[in-house]
Structure 1
């Protein structure tokens, strides 16, 4: 089964979704399952994981409702306030729905030490109790905190989103390489090869731009801990669905069929218990 391990849905709200500014007009609209379903079918993708884009329980409930109504949405990575006094109760409440697979916080928008704050660590420490994964969304310079955080929870399943958003157009950076290596040493951490096209300057790119980054990710994480994600519809800022998919598909074409199946779906299915 081929799985897109990272995409979003929303009903566009210019106030709530202020991050989608006028430089992103192409995604200043609703994106719903009816938009994605034919695109997945055209690209021979069997299902997807819907990931939070708004830090609210309202959106978590919205995504779970969409997943219940559309069986191609195989799971949801939602948001719960991990720093609240009632975090365990809220996790228990939402975990009653088996379609909730994990939790994410937009840590890229927080201070660099956010992931190692005591209140955040307390919340992350509750996730394993409910068999929930955690998506790590950080910029490259925030990787040290992500490494320190993941080291503290060897029994918690983590996945790094968007290969930590390095500046693709500037070429590979030694600091990013070293931090990716340290993170990959932790066997409880996986990595999504997703969100890369939008980390290019002016959204101008060629497939060759991504090769050194993908080389390093594959070397460090290996085929067992890497999964494909589109980051649709955010990817539309720089590429259509087929274009971003082909970056990954062409790169892994030299791998065995078994390895390709792992990257394109088996790993995501196992990680998120789809």
Structure 2
């Protein structure tokens, strides 16, 4: 089992100002030595570390951690994709085999960001280096994301956190249609991660979450769907072990081969992990 999505940070209130008072329990450092025993207890063999700050220093730091800690199977970093000269940053970081992809926090950008010519030019540089691009959006941005995907048929994409729908009652049919439309593109995969924190009161039950899993499983199939924890953000609502067990329960009706895809093979294939 491989975790397709987790973060590290040395907490600073200025750099992590999105961690508000409701999330006070994660206002501290979270480092590989904290994660290692948690992964071991949950039966998870490694993880993909994803950027939490939009700085070049963040990418360099994560790659340095990957050199030190074997539990980090790869890194999804950040570079200024919409700026000229992004090639030099990509080349610098891609010299490390640990760099598997890059991400921009598009959920925090204004409408139309994914349509910008300069950002799309940056994505073409990502494609040229055979790196993955992680798509972090809210559900309302799905139409924009679909237009964006169609400009880059040769780019490998992974959608983070099932596009962050509001998780309350039955899945929104507009979100479900959007995810099915995304999944029609064979170069797109999806992480079942970050879902519990999209519940308004963070009060989760397997019964609440399962219909959302079913939507993305049906849309992407086991070979393009992957388990991710979003640790340590998930800790505001659920323990790591509870989340891992929840996802295992969702895949239990699948064949052993299909289970292996969701829990490990899909992330390995998507990011070229060993």
TM category (shorter chain) comes to over 0.9
1:57 maps to 2:86: no
3-state SS in 1 of match to 2:201? helix
Alpha-carbon distance in structure 2 between the residues aligned to 1:261 and 1:132 = 23
Matches for 1:129-148 after TM superposition, within 5 Å: 129-148=128-147
| Residues matched between the structures, number | 273
Inter-partner Cα distance in structure 1 for 2:65 and 2:157:
24
2:230 is the alignment partner of 1:225: no
Give the superposition deviation at 1:169.
1.4
Would the aligned equivalents of 1:169 and 1:205 in 2 still touch at CA under 8 Å? no
Counterpart residue number, 1:206 = 205
Deviation at 1:84, TM superposition (A): 1.1
With normalisation by structure 1, the TM-score equals 0.98
User: Which residue is equivalent to 1:119?
Assistant: 118
CA distance in 2, matches of 1:259, 1:170: 27
| SS of aligned partner of 2:226 | strand
- Alignment RMSD: 0.8
TM-score, normalised to structure 2, is 0.98
| Separation (CA, whole Å) in 2 of partners of 1:144 and 1:245 | 31
| 1:52-88 alpha-carbon deviations (Å, 9 max, x no partner) | 0100000101100111000110000000000111111
How many Å separate the matches in 1 of 2:100 and 2:225?
17
Could you list the structure 1 runs, at least 4 aligned residues long, displaced by more than 4 angstroms after superposition. none
SS state at 1:13 partner: coil
**1:269 corresponding residue in structure 2:** 268
Unpaired runs of at least 5, structure 1: none
Alpha-carbon displacement from aligned partner over 1:151-176 (angstroms, at most 9, x marks no partner)? 11111100000001111114311110
* 1:181 aligned partner: 180
Q: Distance in 2 between matches of 1:110 and 1:187?
A: 26
Give the Cα separation in 2 of the matches to 1:133 and 1:41: 27
SS at match of 2:154: coil
User: Tell me, what secondary structure is at the counterpart of 1:163?
Assistant: helix
Partner of 2:77: 78
- State whether residues 223 and 265 of structure 2, in contact with CA within 8 Å, keep that contact through their aligned partners in structure 1: no
| C-alpha separation in 2, matches of 1:207 and 1:92 | 43
